[in-house]
Amino acid sequence: KLDILVNNAGVGGIITDVDALRSGMGKEGFKWDEIITETYELAEECFKINYYGPKRMCEAFIPLLQLSDSPRIVNVSSSMGKLTNVLNEWARGILSDAEKLTEERIEEVINQLLNDFKQGTVKTKNWAKFMSAYVVSKAALNGYTRIIAKKH
């Protein structure tokens, strides 16, 4: 029997130029997108840890949680996972439609972003201001949390 499951996984999905961060942070005109690097491989790792890790933990432990009188799942997200930070209108539309949201629809969004990383079109598709994989992985986790809350 398990009473509470806390998922607190998180990686940024980026490589940061630490020297540029130290020298520029807080200064007028500081631009995050000039000091971070996002790649397909980093994005893939980000989704594996931030979305698929908690999802698999939930799937594995729900049977034990169902034995509890007061089961709880806490999926730690981030303010960066707010839907307002998902700038791509298509993706935001899918993730914000609570009535029609399914795990398959979430996968569709994730796969499209990963494809855009492969194609080098993440910036032109306007996924997020910066840290696109992180933002979308946390928004996807929030969506998944809504799905399992409704289901159980």
Question: Structure pTM?
Answer: 0.93
pLDDT digits (tens, 9 = 90+) for 87-121: 999 999 999 999 999 999 999 999 999 999 999 99
Q: What's residue 9's pLDDT?
A: 87
Average pLDDT on 77-95 reads 97
Q: What's residue 39's pLDDT?
A: 97
Average pLDDT on 117-131 reads 96
Q: Which amino acid is at 6?
A: V
Range of the domain at 111: 4-151
With vertex at residue 112, the alpha carbon angle to CA 84 and CA 35, rounded to the nearest 5 degrees, is 60
Give the chain's domain count: 1
Q: What's residue 37's pLDDT?
A: 94
With vertex at residue 93, the alpha carbon angle to CA 121 and CA 102, rounded to the nearest 5 degrees, is 105
Q: Which amino acid is at 39?
A: T
Residues belonging to the active site = 134
Q: What's residue 12's pLDDT?
A: 96
Q: What's residue 33's pLDDT?
A: 77
Q: What's residue 32's pLDDT?
A: 78
Three-class DSSP category at 73: strand
pLDDT digits (tens, 9 = 90+) for 6-63: 999 899 999 998 888 888 777 777 777 788 999 999 999 999 999 999 999 999 999 9
With vertex at residue 33, the alpha carbon angle to CA 95 and CA 113, rounded to the nearest 5 degrees, is 30
Q: What's residue 31's pLDDT?
A: 79
* CATH code of the domain in which 40 resides: 3.40.50.720
